[in-house]
């Protein structure tokens, strides 16, 4: 099946094609050639525009001086869309270096002083509107949390009690964000433990971005959901870019968002975590 379209890629002397893990959205392959190795993302039955947002995010990372995969080529074969990247060899490294790298990412400010991105967020089960706006609440609450809440109700993953708890928590989130000055900076957008790696020389790199210009606390909140970031990471981050006052109160907002994404994508196994986070927000922001 792969042989039917692999020869359509802009590569010469392909010696081996190995399927590897690529998340829940893409098929992914390591391609070894006479000139080196490459990482290929492939999406069947899609046009070349499918990867436009990811390419723009990787270019933004490059401009910000963030170590991430480099775009080699993108396009469309007879079977679907592809994105060809340089292959990064894994190694081991220090969480403190990772913390400094993420802090450096968050020092890259929005080019127009607004929140958003030139392309929407497109996942396997949901898309979010990233049109530019002056309001972080508009982008985060109206276009992300509310969209997720509507989907969870439609899929009957929420009870009427969950809906009421969300409405109460939403009021708390909006009020808290109104008293906090959010600054639009470059975010990874999906910064869980599987989306960073250390290279063979120990350098940290960020992979698989869902880039958007938003409040940096979204990335920080996401790091706390599934682990993979140690106290060393947070200390190094804070030394390079101190946390804003009251950040502990706001991080649950972003944990809630990420857990709602997973509840929508994977189903009821995340229902308890979402409900617990909603209750936490309701209690802690009274």
Cβ neighbours, 10 Å, residue 12: 8
Give the three-state DSSP class for 266: helix
* Euclidean distance between CA atoms 253 and 156, whole angstroms: 22
- Catalytic residue positions? 190
CA 264 → CA 6, 39, 128, 136, 261, distances in Å?
34, 29, 13, 23, 5
* Euclidean distance between CA atoms 229 and 183, whole angstroms: 23
Find the distance separating the first CA and the last CA of the chain, reported in whole Å: 57
The tokens for 137 are 């609440």
* Euclidean distance between CA atoms 180 and 243, whole angstroms: 12
């Amino acid at each position: 099946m792969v042989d039917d379209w692999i020869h359509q890629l802009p590569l010469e002397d392909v010696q081996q094609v190995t399927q590897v893990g690529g998340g829940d959205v893409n098929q992914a392959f390591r391609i070894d050639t006479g000139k080196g190795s490459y990482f290929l993302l492939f999406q069947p039955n899609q046009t070349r525009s499918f990867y436009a947002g990811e390419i723009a995010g990787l270019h933004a990372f490059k401009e910000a001086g963030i170590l991430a995969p480099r775009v080699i080529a993108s396009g469309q074969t007879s079977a679907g869309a592809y994105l060809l990247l340089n292959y990064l060899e894994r190694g081991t490294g220090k969480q403190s270096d990772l913390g400094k790298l993420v802090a450096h990412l968050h020092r890259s400010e929005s080019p127009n002083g607004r929140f958003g991105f030139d392309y929407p967020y497109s996942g396997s089960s949901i898309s979010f509107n990233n049109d530019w706006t002056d309001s972080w609440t508009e982008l985060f609450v109206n276009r992300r949390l509310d969209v997720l809440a509507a989907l969870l109700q439609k899929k009957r993953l929420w009870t009427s009690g969950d809906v009421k708890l969300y409405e109460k928590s939403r009021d708390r989130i909006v009020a808290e964000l109104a008293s906090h000055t959010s600054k639009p900076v470059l975010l990874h957008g999906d910064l869980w433990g599987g989306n960073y790696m250390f290279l063979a020389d120990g350098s940290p790199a960020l992979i698989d971005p869902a880039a958007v210009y938003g409040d940096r606390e979204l990335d920080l909140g996401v790091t706390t959901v599934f682990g993979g970031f140690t106290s060393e990471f947070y200390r190094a981050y804070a030394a390079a870019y101190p946390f804003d006052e009251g950040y502990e109160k706001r991080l649950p907002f972003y944990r809630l968002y990420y857990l709602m994404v997973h509840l929508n994508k994977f189903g009821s196994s995340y229902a308890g975590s979402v409900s617990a986070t909603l209750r936490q927000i309701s209690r802690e922001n009274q």
